[in-house]
Chains A and B, each alone.
Chain A
């Protein structure tokens, strides 16, 4: 995932919190190595090297791809881990098949959120009641009843804060079409294969970080109008950063 992650844990037993922090950090690194499409040693790369044939994968990756598939259906195809090329999952054999020779898995639009949620599960299982995790400053998970103040910066003018919110027991994800200085977006519309043209950004609050990330990616790709209509049917909050 090549991003900096931060783990803030609240409690009294420093030795315990440090041990939990190490465990969460190791889990995030493990998932990053597994889901990277750039590392030749990753599971995702192993799948990507074998398009057009069923590849046996472990249950962890399989259930993540099922989540992606669910996300694709819910977002009308605007979130697509294959960029619109398609995949087939076989639950009994625990295999994934990329349907076209050029198809590749790219979990970039979900990996950080998924890693944060896995970290969150560990944190809860070790009895830490209040925590904030962030990855790449675009994905956040707040755990517990405490509110964490979050400032959202304008992607085009990073010194300008466009919103401040109090995040409590929610996942957050921010997607921008392009960062300051970039002329074209690396986000593509899975239906057309073309880079999206807008210079806007959006952020989504959801029950977990994985869902927030699926939706922030999809919403930006589908555009504000369609996004607002779709999000109205979900347990989500959507904010648009207009230029």
Chain B
């Protein structure tokens, strides 16, 4: 059974505003990309597939990354190792920023000061104070600003959020998310360890592993997933209790190789009475079971979400959705009771819910779609982007208080 995007979104009114401009009719938007490492290259390649965009420049202070960027951008793009020179000489209309986290605020602020619209990779800033200041500057500058939390552009998540808002899973009970992988999270260094430059290059390329530049797993992975909670719950958490450490990859890194967090959100039930929802989050580097997904649990059903799959499991005895056959379709593994005798008992904990409804996989790629949406907002001068600076600020604080809890121990309140 598939829930089609078309039929659902017509009623839910959650369509993504994209592509309102006719390609080829207008002057192309001049965009520069600052930071052309792994993520920057993903964004750059996607940018070059969008009609009426011209990449006028690319910038990276690491020559091999700049070389890649130049190859993906094409011959019309000028190359810079210093973003300040790029801003001065090219005066781009918009910039896409994908630099290491500790540089986010500085680069984004100077791009705004240079009059650019800004797309900034997640997590928005390295500190909550920086995020607050950037928020104020975006408001004052009146520029189009978007944070790269691409689940906000993903049709599966957009539909799931509309389903939650429409009450299809009942009252929200709990939230559980994880990003589990099994590798060292280390980038290779192009020179041997005996080379005098190895140490510098290692820190440059593996900036995610060092606290001077990175906020670790929570910022690089957790920020996407806790944003789903903030987005679906339409609020930020009240407090968090988190713990983490370096237990396996004792290779000189400074950020945790595993983290576990418990967040408390304050929601309201249908009568307006406040209640607490606990949300748990873990990220591991040495076991990939369950991979990356979010689970939103409600009194009437559960939503299982990944970037390419969305499943709705209904609770037994509920009839939330009246699609033909859906609620009655007995799962082959479910417990069947006849005349008081159990004939078959499944060990699948989900079996009693019956077969899930699957959100029809919508066409499109969320990295490309978030940029299509950004460029569309730039062209329409619309500051209400799908992931604005306030969303970025709340996400940033949600993530960083977990790191504070890991450092200090004990509950940490969401900052006022």
Contact = CB atoms under 8 A, between A and B. Distances in A.
A58 B190 contact: no
Contacts of B184: 15, 18-19, 22
Interface in B186-201: 186-193
Given A43-B49, A127-B192, A59 B74 contact: yes
A15 B362 CA distance: 40
B2 to A, nearest CB: 13
A59 B48 contact: yes
Interface string B366-377: 100000000000
Contacts, number: 72
B49 A127 contact: no
B71 A59 contact: yes
B46 A23 contact: no
B186 A94 contact: no
Contact of B365 (A16, A23, A41, A127): A41
B51 interface: yes
Task: Using C-beta atoms within 8 Å of the partner chain, give the interface range for chain B.
Answer: 20 to 34
B49 A56 contact: yes
A19 B364 CA distance: 31
A167 to B, nearest CB: 24
Contacts of A126: 188-190
B45 interface: yes
B152 to A, nearest CB: 16
Contacts of A49: 363
Given A41-B364, A49-B363, A13 B192 contact: yes
Interface residues of A, number: 25
B361 A56 contact: no
Nearest to B184: A18
Interface string B42-85: 00011011110000000000001000000111100000000000
A22 B189 CA distance: 12
A243 interface: no
B183 interface: yes
A125 interface: yes
Q: Tell which of A43, A49, A58 has the most Cβ of chain B within 10 Å.
A: A58
A129 B349 CA distance: 49
A125 B205 CA distance: 14
B27 interface: no
Interface of B: 45-46, 48-51, 64, 71-74, 183-184, 186-193, 251, 308, 361-366
